[in-house]
């Protein structure tokens, strides 16, 4: 499967966001990962649709929006409208997962298809994915408790990724498996070897002395 490097802007210098995004794009990033937090689902408040809309104008990179919010059904249309290419919601945030996945797929305008992802907190069982696994484009497995960048990688996430990849293979599904939290040069290969093919990396890119070089180095490691 193709590997995707998805730098997460959460720990970037927001006063220089445009320059940082240009650097990751030139460094070969595949997607731009945008962490949306509402102060309820997680104890942090971050970016809204206005930021997505502004970024849409300055980058060609697909915008990979990770919604850590309650009532995602209210917000999916906002992010679709703002220019999201992929919208991931948390299984824990809804009792209507299949309907939400359909809403994401239906929310692209003018023939655009928005990719639908479902994310799980580290302690949520993989069985939560079963009702929608055949429908979704991507699963986002958290390897930290969502809310903040710069946390330590939870190694149990590797076992979960392997189990999920095996399950997808058994069902004949090519679902992208994305992992998010605490990933950097020291563990990205182990994450790939566990069956992950989309890598969200925040601190290790945006807090590096040279953002473009850090992006290139990670791309090289991923092969």
Measuring CA to CA, how many Å separate 109 from each of 79, 82, 106, 130, 150?
12, 11, 8, 28, 35
**35 part of the active site:** yes
Q: Which residue is nearest to ligand DX5 (CB)?
A: 202
Is 5 one of the binding residues for ligand DX5 (CB under 6 A)?
A: no
**210 part of the active site:** no
Measuring CA to CA, how many Å separate 118 from each of 32, 132, 140?
17, 9, 6
Number of residues that bind ligand DX5 (CB under 6 A): 21
Q: Pick out residues in 122-161 that bind ligand DX5 (CB under 6 A).
A: 144, 146-147, 149-151
**Partner from ligand DX5, Zn ion, none contacting 136, C-beta within 5 to 8 A by type:** none
Minimum CB distance to ligand DX5 smaller for 70 or for 151: 151
- Using alpha carbons only, what angle is made at residue 52 by residues 14 and 189, rounded to the nearest 5 degrees? 75
Which of the following is catalytic: 30, 35, 64, 176? Answer: 35
Q: Pick out residues in 173-212 that bind ligand DX5 (CB under 6 A).
A: 180-183, 200-204
Supply the minimum distance, in Å, between the C-beta of residue 7 and ligand DX5: 9
Buried b (16+ CB within 10 A) or exposed e, 113-152: ebbbbbbbbeebebebbeebbebbbbbbbbbbebbbbeee
Residue 154's SS3 state is: coil
Q: Which residues are catalytic?
A: 35, 180
Q: Would you tell me which residues interact with ligand DX5 (CB under 6 A)?
A: 8, 10-11, 33, 35, 66, 144, 146-147, 149-151, 180-183, 200-204
């Amino acid at each position: 499967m193709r590997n995707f490097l998805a730098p997460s802007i959460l720990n970037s210098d927001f006063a220089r966001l445009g320059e940082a995004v240009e650097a990751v794009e030139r460094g070969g990033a595949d997607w731009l990962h945008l962490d949306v937090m509402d102060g309820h689902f997680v104890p942090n408040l971050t970016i809204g649709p206005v930021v997505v809309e502004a970024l849409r104008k300055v980058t060609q990179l697909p915008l990979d929006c990770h919604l850590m919010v309650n009532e995602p059904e209210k917000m999916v249309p906002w992010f679709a409208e703002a220019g999201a290419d992929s919208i991931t919601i948390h299984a824990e945030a809804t009792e209507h997962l299949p309907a939400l996945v359909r809403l994401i797929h239906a929310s692209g305008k003018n023939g655009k298809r928005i990719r639908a992802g479902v994310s799980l907190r580290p302690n949520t069982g993989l069985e939560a994915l079963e009702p929608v696994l055949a429908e979704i484009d991507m699963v986002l497995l958290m390897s930290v408790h969502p809310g903040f960048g710069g946390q330590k990688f939870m190694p149990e996430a590797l076992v979960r990724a392997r189990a999920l990849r095996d399950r997808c293979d058994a069902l004949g599904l090519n679902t992208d498996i994305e992992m998010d939290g605490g990933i950097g040069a020291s563990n990205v290969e182990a994450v790939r070897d566990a069956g992950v093919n989309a890598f969200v990396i925040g601190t290790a890119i945006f807090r590096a002395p040279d953002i473009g070089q850090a992006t290139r180095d990670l791309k090289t490691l991923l092969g």
